[in-house]
Structure 1
């Protein structure tokens, strides 16, 4: 497996590389602005404290700082909008291209393949799996780069103030790295189980729709309903297991990083 999580999609992303460049430029600007706002606020507070120590304090400068912070906030919002627009649009175009290529590939396969493959699996790959790729490229890609840029800029700012305190703040990072690797493997396993169960549901539904006359002729309606209910219940349980892992992991990482 490649260490680069985006390498499998390089051929699909290449036609939209300029949209990616624009989106990443907006992302870089957004992170820079988000780091600069606390610095401006700090300067305003320090200047206000120094002014209050005088006999006749003049706080009119706070208006300029307030306008600057509002302007930076609007700039951050604009960059965030541009970043999400370009990255999300690219992810939907990649989703379209993958689905079209998948369908074109199905048309080249021999008849024997379709006699062995489950229709539900083929439908799940064309719908749920491709949508998962779109969410990964849209949200996962953005969050991954935002975390890296935000962490890098924050570390630079913290080191400029107090590098020793920064080292203490980095102490939980090895623990979080180990936990992330352990939880990541379990998330992939449980997510794969969810996708497999979704394929089973799609197969059951397709078989019943195509063979509805047989089901009614042999009075199999109750049995098929019970079978479909069991598949749905299992799908819910697998999703609950995945959600439980998410809901346990993220609060724990926030706790470790907060400490």
Structure 2
């Protein structure tokens, strides 16, 4: 049999970190319970004293004044106790949630590319928000409710036994049925909460994708299609919530009904005891009052179970995320970046993606000498991007090794390796921050003069100064408000500021005009000076300047050499050249001849 709350129990240890808040909250809970227990007993004293006073009821005035003052004092104490419960238990739960969000965020950022390539952004957002909130509710109100209900129930039962043990046994007749109903409720609600959290993740993914991809949606006039997709998922989310509500709507009244059976039994038995003279009216009123109070913890068993079950499902999802492994960072070889020359050596490198049976790269052997430009050429899906992503350890090789200046990159601390290797992606990402902050992202301590110099070398200084606030201009999400060429030049400035020894870039500029392409080309030339550079080549000018052209097909190096050497072989490179650049170069030659004849 599975133990209850197997996942949520893993987070109960966090309560000990903030135990002082929970102790204060539980103390307030105990004080409130004690003050509540005086209520029915006070009613008993009043009724029995009035019944016993006969014709001398005026003598009870001082007694009523005293007991009224006593009950008023209890009310004030109870209000203070409720404040302690809510304030300190919730504070402890929110602190746990804050710590968990920090831990989750740090963990997500450390997870490798292989994880992020296969995980929906919406699912991660759901786990970091909705799931953490469910855990917080379980460790906050859920824990308080469980403690309060259990203590309240035990306290009332003890008082009832003290008043009349026979009455108490009668009220306990429905207890086994109540426990059975609670277990069945837990078993049925658990899979529904699991489904609910999954549907919330899908819902969040749709919203996130549609907002991020709004330009594509509008460009293809697919608003209606995406609205319908959103409505379908929203309906699934509604249906799942309604299934949970229907279950709650059945079980919560059932528990109330079981408690009402106890009330009916005690009123019948108590009335008979009064008739027979074995009990007073005050005793029956007090007992009925305590029995009514007993309904509250019984009713809240279902609510508390719901909180715990939902928290347990969310805890399972969070724990599965936290169990994801990130790249081991056990590098012990400390090297100073300024002393690194930049030789990169691939030795019998094989690589296979975790979810694939076929290798993406096979037996890659390659030496890039310091300062060389290596152009990677191949058809789509040949393995070019995979090869360069192994250098900064976005993925780890399956076998073989990659070395920088003779040191295996797995022996270099990741922080040092990522300072040595800079990447300029084809899809430029800018943060919602100032241009100054975006350029200095990799080196926050950089001076303004360093930032401006890197922007100048990246051919970006001129357009930045024309912006409303210059370098302090805040760009929108993902660089909204800047052109593709402007974003790419800012990315180049960001890489320049890092002063890497090894550079990886995609020199695609197909989405920009000719003038911008010329500026980007100059910026890239400045970026590549004195650095070992791997380029996923898209332009003929880059290929011609390369010290080595590496031709990759189906994960293997099929040819290597300079542009002229590979053209003379009439092999794979020649075929790619004829398809991608041959006609362009022919037209340029004809245009040159025409201009010469003018």
TM-score (norm 1): 0.94
Aligned equivalent of 1:238: 240
Kindly tell me the number of residue pairs found equivalent between the two proteins. 258
What is the deviation of 1:13? 1.7
Q: Which residue of structure 2 aligns with residue 170 of structure 1?
A: 172
Mapped pair 1:59 → 2:23: no
Are the counterparts in 2 of residues 41 and 65 from structure 1 also a CA contact under 8 Å? no
1:28 is the counterpart of 2:30: yes
The question of whether the paired residues in 1 share the 8 Å contact of 2:22 and 2:92 is answered with: yes
Q: 1:40: how far off? A: 2.2
Name the structure 2 match of 1:129.
131
Secondary structure, counterpart of 2:60 in structure 1: coil
Cα distance in 2 for partners of 1:62, 1:24 equals: 32
Alignment correspondent of 2:188: 186
Change beyond 3 A, Cα 1:219–1:162? same
**Which runs of structure 2 are paired with 1:88-237 in the superposition (5 Å)?**
88-237=90-239
The answer (yes or no) to whether the contact 1:94–1:134 under 8 Å persists in 2 is yes
Structure 1 residues 221 and 178: CA distance shift in structure 2, 3 A = same
Distance 1:37 1:212, change over 3 A: same
Q: Which 10-residue stretch deviates more, 169-178 or 137-146?
A: 137-146
Helix, strand or coil: the match of 1:81?
Answer: helix
Distance across 2 between alignment mates of 1:187 and 1:139 = 19
Which structure carries more strand by proportion? 2
Asked whether 1:252 is paired with 2:254, we answer: yes
Q: Structure 1 residues 56 and 10 mapped into 2: Cα distance closer, same or farther (>3 Å)?
A: closer
**CA–CA separation in structure 2 for the residues paired with 1:59 and 1:136:** 48
Aligned partners of 1:29 and 1:57: how far apart in 2?
34
Q: CA deviation at 1:26?
A: 1.0
- Measure how far apart 1:212 and its partner are: 2.2
Shift in Å, 1:168: 1.3
Aligned residue for 1:201, secondary structure, equals helix
Give the CA deviation at 1:35.
Answer: 0.8
What's the TM-score, normalizing by structure 2? 0.42
CA 1:98–1:236: 2 relative to 1, 3 Å: same
Larger CA Rg, structure 1 vs 2: 2
| Cα offset, 1:2, TM superposition | 4.6
State the secondary structure of the residue aligned to 1:116: coil
Segments of structure 1 that go 5 or more residues without pairing to the other structure are: none
User: How many Å apart are 1:95 and its aligned residue?
Assistant: 1.1
Maintained 8 Å contact 2:50/2:57:
no
2: CA distance between counterparts of 1:7 and 1:184? 16
Distance 2:165 2:13 in 1: 42
Residues 15 and 96, structure 2, Cα contact 8 Å, conserved in 1: yes
RMSD (Å), alpha carbons: 1.6
Q: Which moved more, 1:56-65 or 1:223-232?
A: 56-65
Gaps of 5+ in 2: 262-598
CA apart distance, 1:27: 0.8
Match of 2:9 among 3, 7, 10: 7
Work out the CA distance in 2 between the residues paired with 1:190 and 1:10. 23
Q: Please give the alpha-carbon distance, in whole angstroms, between the structure 2 residues aligned to 1:56 and 1:132.
A: 56
